[in-house]
Amino acid sequence: MEKQGKLGLWILTALVVGNMVGSGIFMLPSTLSAAASPAGVLLAWCLTGFGVLMTVLVFGNLAIRKPELQGGPQIYAKALFKPGTQASTLSGFMATWGYWIGNLAGNIAIITTFAGYLSTFFPILTSQAKWFDIGGLTIKVGNGLTFIVCTMLLWVTHTIILRGIENAGRLNFAATAAKVIGFVLFIIVGLFAFSKTNILPLTAPRVDGSGQTIGLLGQVNSAALTTLWAFIGVESAVVFASRAKRAVDVKRASILGLLIALAIYISISLLVMGMLGQDELIASDKPLIDAIIKVLGPVGGQALAVLGLISLIGSTLGWVMLSAEIPFQAAKQGLFLPSFLKENKKGIPVRSMIVTNGLGQLFIFSTISNSISQAFEFVIIIATLSYLVPYLIASLYQLKLVITGETYLGDKSRLSDGIIAAISTIYSTLVIIGGTADLKTFTFGMLLIVSGIFFYGPLRKTTAANLAGKKKRAA
């Protein structure tokens, strides 16, 4: 019998698609064209899609085999070590911390992007006119209004979620369905406007910053790192595993969501390449809108801007829910402070919501100053490690289960699961190495994750007190 107030297959799928297909889709065609030729872009999508599919299969297998470990891929860091040990608690906490901060920063990036699309209809949001001064800081009209818009979106979303996760999930589903329909219509228009001369030559070389020519394989490697951003959020159903009607829906929603998102990304990336010339596409800062305006005129551009707003509203709902769920589920596993366990009557982690969105409000202050905003963009890049490390951890834990045979008594899928986990582990490792080749990026990324050590002390004291209490009651 299905549980009431739980998330079904299609709502879980909508969370995956909604969180994956956010603001990135509107800029990726331009970024990818600068990194690779049309052939390189297609190969990069296929390579990244295959690697992420292996990771998704790992997520799905673990959700079924280890249903007690809920809350996201970072939770498996705890299970890599002996239960009850400091190593188990510390690794689980650190992985959760990094993943939480990465999600928090990414969520606020989506919210601030919403204001950017809204400026299509309200140009005053980009006004550089002086509004007032605070100390030595001059607040411009556009920056101040953007701050207000972002703050309203964050806390309206907060209020909606507090009224029940199922209702919030349905709203996310509606927003996701609307944007999927919109992207399908864009694809149809693109098919009619597609010109193969725009994508020729298919294997044109690219030149890096030092003037060196980049061949096809180098292009694929560069573009594959970029396409990975499109797959962040594929673990959304795993994070909400405890709220799913059936454990098997988590695996199905993850795979289905990945395939839907991948189809949208590949179709739009290739079609935009055929709608705009390669030089024109590389120079565009709004490729989808430029492409549709070329075919349908300004009205088409405005319609696409509306689609962008709907997309971002759905993504905001999904990511705010996801960001608050991470420390809540970690606290249930003894990997975060117990205060994050507080729920309201609807079963929403109200304390986690308040802290998470309160920190998010601090990030929104980046919209006040352009210089702060630029620094924040760098933090987003650094936060990539916060996503990649838990992906690697989940793959390693799946390998551990296969090697030890735990949960595989008489199960014929042990070999195939081992192969999938090995491929996922290799893929995650290669992406981490490739994405952090720059020493500065690697150093700051590690500092972001390690910064959580300063907050580990209170958790360790709480854990020690709980263990002492259990021993006392047992005696």
pLDDT at residue 367, as a whole number: 66
Q: What are phi and psi of 127, to 5 degrees?
A: -65, 135
Residues 6+ apart with CB under 8 A from 362: none
Structure tokens at 121: 């209809």
Helices 247-275/28-35 angle, 10° precision: 70
Q: Is 411 helix (H, G, I), strand (E, B) or coil?
A: coil
User: Is the torsion defined by CA of 94, 96, 102, 105 positive or negative?
Assistant: negative
pLDDT at residue 376, as a whole number: 46
If you ran DSSP here, which 8-state letter would residue 244 be given?
A: B
Do residues 207 and 214 touch, judged by C-beta distance below 8 A? yes
Write out the chain's pLDDT in tens, 475 residues: 334 457 888 888 888 888 787 766 776 787 788 778 888 888 888 888 898 899 989 988 888 888 888 777 878 888 888 877 778 888 888 888 888 887 777 777 788 778 877 887 888 887 888 887 777 777 788 888 888 998 999 999 999 999 887 778 788 888 888 888 888 888 898 888 888 888 877 877 776 666 677 778 777 877 777 777 778 778 888 888 888 888 888 888 989 989 998 888 888 888 888 888 878 888 776 788 888 888 888 888 888 888 888 888 888 888 888 888 888 988 888 888 888 889 888 888 999 999 999 988 887 876 666 544 454 455 555 566 677 788 888 899 999 999 998 888 877 788 999 999 999 999 888 877 766 656 666 676 677 667 777 777 777 776 666 555 555 555 5
Q: What are phi and psi of 8, to 5 degrees?
A: -90, 180
Q: Is 356 helix (H, G, I), strand (E, B) or coil?
A: helix
Structure tokens at 327: 């420390």
Do residues 74 and 92 touch, judged by C-beta distance below 8 A? yes
Integer Rg of the chain from CA: 23
pTM: 0.78
Q: Is 21 helix (H, G, I), strand (E, B) or coil?
A: coil
Q: How far apart are CA 372 and CA 369, in angstroms?
A: 5
Do residues 120 and 302 touch, judged by C-beta distance below 8 A? yes
Structure tokens at 80: 């890599």
Do residues 92 and 452 touch, judged by C-beta distance below 8 A? no
Options 3.30.450.70, 1.20.1740.10, 3.40.50.720, 3.60.90.10; CATH for 10-467 is 1.20.1740.10
Q: How far apart are CA 355 and CA 273, in angstroms?
A: 43
pLDDT at residue 373, as a whole number: 45
Do residues 89 and 461 touch, judged by C-beta distance below 8 A? no
pLDDT at residue 423, as a whole number: 94
Residue whose structure tokens are 């963009």: 377
**Going by DSSP bridges, is the β-strand pair 137-140/206-207 parallel, antiparallel, or unpaired?**
unpaired
Three state DSSP letters for 13-36: HHHHHHHHCCHHHHCHHHHHHHHC
